[in-house]
Amino acid sequence: MKILLVLSFILSGILATAQVKKTTTATKKTGTPTKQLPQKSKERLIEITTDYGVMIAKLYDSTPKHRDNFIKLIQQKIYDSLLFHRVINGFMIQGGDPTSKNADSTAQLGSGSLPGERIPAEIRSNIIHKKGS
């Protein structure tokens, strides 16, 4: 019985370590330059290129302060080579922390501030997040 108990603790430790390594690896996804795409409509489309593929983001005219600020930061190359510091598989990714550029693998990320003023929320009930977007 003692051997079984010891083996279960060892196995738990191995599994916990494996899970931590998996999470750490996931947070290493890096972004490369972000650019505006040629516009065919009023909506602004942004291409985000990563080591894992390309994403297209839509910016809305009904949120002009956030749209314009995001475009300004892209033009200033603020987002180039930043990490996605928070990755939840099958749910979401989060990036934009300027301290993640060239960050050490042990760095605590996600609390850095981007340059510029704080922008008030432009929440619109007609704009929702869709699965896969």
Domain ranges of the chain: 27-100
Residue of 93, 53, 88, 57 lying closest to 74 (CA atoms): 57
Provide the pLDDT for residue 36.
58
* pLDDT in 10s for each residue of the chain, 133 residues: 344 333 333 333 433 333 333 333 334 444 545 555 555 556 789 998 888 899 888 898 999 999 998 899 899 998 888 888 888 998 888 888 888 888 887 888 878 777 677 889 999 988 887 766 5
Q: What are phi and psi of 23, to 5 degrees?
A: -65, -45
Do 75 and 89 touch, CB atoms closer than 8 A?
no
Structure token digits, residue 46: 């942004």
CA distance 60 to 128: 11
DSSP-based three-state secondary structure for 87: strand
pTM above 0.75, yes or no: no
